[in-house]
Structure 1
Amino acid sequence: MEINIMYREHEGRHGADYRALTAKDASGNTLTNDTSGMTVVEFIEKVVSKVIQRNVSKGHTANDITVNLPAEVTLSSTLQTHLVAKFTADPLVNSVTFA
């Protein structure tokens, strides 16, 4: 499963700027999005959890997940290791890779 994350900053009305995070699958279908100010890590956790829930509801077998990050987002190796350990604890996740 490939997850493509997009990051955009927008000028809001009356000086209230905001950012938008969107996650799409390899076919371009939107998995989830956020404009509430969620942190990037929270967003990654949300979308991977959503993919796992979808796999459970559709009876899918375990799969590999690749999270493609935008240039604006950098995860430390320690944080990547933590997230990989967290999600591969689920039997429906063989691996998680960040690219």
Structure 2
Amino acid sequence: MRLLLAEDEVELANAISAVLKHKNYSVDAVYNGIDAYNYAIAQDYDGIILDIMMPGMDGIQVLTKLREKGIDSPVLLLTAKSDIYDRITG
């Protein structure tokens, strides 16, 4: 299974990638929203993990643009936000 991980905190991205790779997932890690979008439109992913707060483009913007392009890969949103508005937006 091929996954795209977009997380701007490099140490956290490395830790998540290591766990996923240990579980036999193939992981491409990127560290900003622009790269996340570009990777997602250039390749087919079985799943995408997006941090909501990233430089360049936030995770919600990336997801919105991907859906507009017809990319319907399952997406898991990572966030430290807990406000109900933020959860509804996600």
Q: What is the TM-score when the length of structure 1 is the normalising length? A: 0.38
Q: Which of the two has greater helix per residue?
A: 2
Q: What is the TM-score when the length of structure 2 is the normalising length? A: 0.40
Q: Which of the two has greater strand per residue?
A: 1
Q: Answer with 1 or 2: which has the greater Rg.
A: 1
